[in-house]
């Protein structure tokens, strides 16, 4: 079908959402929410234009380029390319979405062509992207399986067909799970049993929104380790570079987005070293929805139920810190059987899957 009525343009971030030139940004945000609703059947993963605007602000760790597809003045497609600036200097991260009314007209391919052109301009030889699918498909029929052999993604889905057409391989599958707040009365017992197993050499410290200054550099090291110390499938991911300044930049950005975080970390008393952490986040625009972010225990300290202790203790804190919270979402690599087992014990139930796609470019 013809695409002559659709134009693809690089879109520069407006100075504010009140400016006339912000209208395409707001329309693109609405399009993102439409696609999230199409995938999940709810608005749990939607965001306001204000939140997306703050998230898109430039910083010293990542550069973002946005391309929009216009049919006359209507935004019918969107592509975003994030280019890391501090690490992973051969890589960029991209996603492409098209309004249902404009599909099968070549709009997505034209947007992705702009992505590749931008990637090559920045000398990036690897493009990564992620797509979601709700649970319920038959995992034994017409599916793609990553090289790890763990997890599956429906081969007939629109994202899988698009990725395959452009030469992407399925590098990993994550399971998306949700915990209904208050549904597991055994959380206190799980936390207490894990603390007893850990023993007196360990204690849990916690904070909300900002890491205490005296723990900042140790916490940054945990964040850096987290970037590669979890199963990565076939993804060509190099360790990220973290320091206290990067932690503070992330905290400040979350605050600008109207967000808040709950962090618990485990301290090894004999060495006075932080050896694990877990993070929960939520935003004021959606007070009933919480996201479980990082959970990590350093390899040499595993086997003491520290991960269970951290996660259960942080989940117990949700009701007090965020009394409006109803659901907590988490993602885990399907090959990460240990953490999946912990989450199942905590009461999480699978609701969907995220495919990680990867393509190598010839520069």
The class (CATH top level) of 6-175 is alpha beta
Within 8 A by CB and 6+ apart from 162, the residues are: 96, 108, 112
Pairwise CA distance, residues 233 & 230, whole Å: 9
Percent of the chain predicted with pLDDT > 90: 95
What is the CATH code for 182-325? 3.40.630.30
Confidence of residue 183 (pLDDT cuts 50, 70, 90): confident
Widest pairwise Cα distance in the chain:
69
Confidence of residue 262 (pLDDT cuts 50, 70, 90): very high
* C-alpha torsion sign, points 238, 244, 245, 249: positive
Pairwise CA distance, residues 49 & 26, whole Å: 6
Q: Provide the pLDDT for residue 138.
A: 84
What's this model's pTM, rounded to 2 decimal places?
0.95
Confidence of residue 91 (pLDDT cuts 50, 70, 90): very high
DSSP state, residue 146: -
Query: Which tens digit of pLDDT belongs to each residue from 123-180?
Result: 999 999 999 999 998 877 899 999 999 999 999 999 999 999 999 999 999 999 999 9
Tell me the average pLDDT across 268-293: 97
Residues 174 and 188 sit within 8 Å (Cβ to Cβ): no
Q: Is the model's pLDDT at 2 over the cut of 80?
A: no
Q: Where are the domains of the chain?
A: 6-175, 182-325
Question: Which pair of tokens denotes residue 64?
Answer: 């973002």
Q: Provide the pLDDT for residue 140.
A: 77
β 126-134/6-11 pair status: unpaired
Within 8 A by CB and 6+ apart from 156, the residues are: 142
Confidence of residue 301 (pLDDT cuts 50, 70, 90): very high
Question: Which pair of tokens denotes residue 344?
Answer: 């199942």
- Common-topology check for domains 6-175 and 182-325: yes
* Helix-helix angle 306-321:187-198, to 10 degrees: 140
């Amino acid at each position: 079908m013809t695409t002559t009525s659709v134009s693809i343009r690089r879109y520069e971030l407006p100075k504010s959402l009140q400016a006339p030139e912000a209208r395409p940004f707001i329309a693109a945000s609405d399009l993102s929410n439409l696609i999230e609703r199409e995938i999940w059947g709810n608005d749990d993963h939607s965001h306001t234009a204000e939140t997306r605007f703050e998230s898109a602000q430039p910083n010293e760790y990542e550069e973002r380029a946005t391309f929009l597809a216009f049919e006359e003045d209507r935004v019918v497609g969107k592509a975003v390319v994030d280019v890391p600036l501090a690490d992973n200097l051969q890589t960029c991260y991209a996603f492409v979405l098209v309004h249902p009314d404009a599909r099968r007209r070549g709009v997505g391919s034209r947007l992705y062509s702009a992505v590749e052109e931008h990637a090559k301009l920045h000398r990036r030889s690897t493009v990564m992207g992620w797509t979601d699918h709700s649970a319920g498909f038959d995992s034994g029929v017409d599916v793609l399986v990553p090289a790890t052999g763990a997890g599956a993604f429906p081969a007939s889905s629109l994202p899988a067909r698009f990725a395959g057409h452009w030469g992407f391989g399925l590098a990993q599958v994550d399971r998306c799970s949700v915990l209904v707040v208050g549904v597991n009365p055994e959380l206190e017992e799980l936390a207490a049993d894990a603390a007893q197993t850990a023993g007196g050499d360990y204690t849990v410290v916690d904070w909300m929104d900002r890491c205490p200054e005296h723990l900042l550099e140790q916490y940054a090291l945990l964040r850096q380790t987290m970037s590669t110390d979890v199963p990565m499938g076939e993804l060509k991911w190099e360790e990220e570079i973290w320091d206290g300044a990067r932690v503070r930049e992330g905290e400040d950005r979350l605050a600008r987005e109207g967000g808040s975080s709950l962090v618990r970390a485990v301290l090894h008393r004999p060495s006075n070293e932080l050896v694990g952490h877990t993070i929960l986040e939520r935003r004021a625009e959606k007070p009933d929805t919480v996201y479980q972010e990082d959970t990590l225990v350093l390899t040499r300290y595993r086997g003491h139920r520290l991960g269970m202790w951290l996660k259960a203790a942080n989940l117990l804190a949700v009701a007090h810190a965020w009394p409006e919270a109803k659901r907590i979402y988490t993602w885990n690599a399907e090959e990460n059987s240990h953490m999946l087992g912990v989450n199942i014990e905590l009461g999480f139930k699978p609701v969907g899957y995220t495919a990680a796609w990867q393509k190598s470019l010839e520069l």
